Amino acid sequence: MKIIIIGAGEVGHNLCTTLSAAGHNVTLIEQSEVRCEKLDEEQNARIITGNGSSARQLVDVDVASCDAFLAMTSDDRTNVISCSLAKGLGAKNTIARIHDETFSDNSVINYQLHFGIDLLVNPEAICAVELAKEIRSAGRVAVENFARGQIEVQLQEVAPNSRLIGKKLKDLKLDARVRIGFIQRDSSSEVASADSILQEGDMVTLFGHPEVLFTLRERFDPKHKIDIARVVLFGGSETAISLIRLLTNPRFKVRVIEKDKAKCRSLAERFPDITVINGDATSLRLLEEEQIGSADYFVACTKDDEENILTCLQAAKLGANHVQLVINKGDYDQLLGILKTMLGIEVVVSPRQATAEFMLRNLSADSSATLATVPGGDGQIVEVRITHSSPCVGKKVKDIQLPAGAVFVALLHKFKAKVPAADDVILAGDRVVVIVSEAQQKAVMASLV
């Protein structure tokens, strides 16, 4: 695959390395001559000193023949303009890195459609989803993030006093944004169907919007106790802002410690329900004053890796129940495993690595990918890419006959993801997530690809 990358910062540099190693034909355009000279020596890619938002420059690198154009600079406007020009000049697939929420706000105009951009990617938001997984639900299935936090997968046990016992799934009247995909009972398991009947002790795999899944817990277990989670974030970074948005439920009590007074004022105005503290979390005295030892989660997510590591170690020593860390630079790549296993830091995420992993999956030529295996059974969670030649293109979900032992649980169209409704139409370029028994995988692929 021919790929053009604009920008050789941490994200662009790492993408160049990762995609080149995967066998892709990569061209990287960077304005800094010094950086280009260094990259030329270490990268197995074509390195060009130039302006990625110049139409002439894009013509010179034959953008019309590229399969994927990735604008990964730290400037949103440069990325949007570059992608728009690349699409106009014939690039097949354009992906822009964005930070400003303006470009993902479609209330007035769809920026993505207007500028001809196939996908908007926010590395910090991808990391925030990884951090939020553990905070929002300890019972979720470990699944690759296929919907950027819009859909989660959770395991839920049917309690003895649940009113769902003895009822068929089609009679439960669940929220339309929820789908039951798999049922495990004693030593047996099955992919759920409309006629499946729930029994006491069943372990049910649920798909849906995180907050909807949370409100559903009471129906499975009427005695379910809602625990308040005390979350402390060090740094008012983009990752922190994305994480705050994912923790809007009142059951999360969020505090942010930030050194910059202007950022503190901005955060307090944007998120009136959180507590913002102007201070330096590298100060042990401040951490003690704020009683970090009693926090359920401490997340260090500033742009300074050294400060993040230091504060995580201090928070863990003071007794914080769960400690999470954001690493921005590639300097610590070799230490990530050590940080997790030896220093008690449970979750370590990296915007550059998260973006590289996302791109590898998004640019893969494979028609399907197994995201996870449901614990305790033979159920597979599979993501399928719908091509123009797929027999299901243009059909409604209710008209697609999946084999017995398979069910649609998610539909991804561009940047939106949802649990599919019966009247949703499958389009070329969509991705569908199916839960299927191992024995039926080939039959499912035949009906979708």
| Pairwise CA distance, residues 289 & 313, whole Å | 17
Q: What is the DSSP letter of 377?
A: S
- Taking CA atoms, 169 is separated from 155, 180, 261, 347, 375, in Å, by 16, 8, 53, 36, 21
**Can you spell out the DSSP letters for 122-148?**
-HHHHHHHHHHHHHH-TTB-----SST
User: Please, which pLDDT band fits residue 136 given cuts at 50, 70 and 90?
Assistant: confident
In the predicted structure, residue 157 carries a pLDDT above the cut 90 = no
In the predicted structure, residue 420 carries a pLDDT above the cut 80 = yes
- Taking CA atoms, 240 is separated from 87, 258, 437, in Å, by 32, 10, 38
188 forms bridges with which residues in the sheet?
A: 185
Closest CA to 295 of 306, 281, 309: 281
| Pairwise CA distance, residues 137 & 225, whole Å | 13
Half-sphere exposure of 76 (CA within 13 A, CB side): 14
185 forms bridges with which residues in the sheet?
A: 188
Query: 243: helix, coil or strand?
Result: helix
Q: Which residue has the higher pLDDT, 272 or 144?
A: 272
User: Please, which pLDDT band fits residue 140 given cuts at 50, 70 and 90?
Assistant: low
In the predicted structure, residue 60 carries a pLDDT above the cut 70 = yes
Closest CA to 375 of 147, 170, 181, 131: 181
Among 198-212, 330-344, 405-419, where is mean pLDDT lowest? 330-344
| Pairwise CA distance, residues 373 & 358, whole Å | 19
| Pairwise CA distance, residues 47 & 29, whole Å | 6
Q: What's residue 368's pLDDT?
A: 82
Q: What's residue 144's pLDDT?
A: 46
- Taking CA atoms, 167 is separated from 117, 129, 389, in Å, by 46, 34, 40
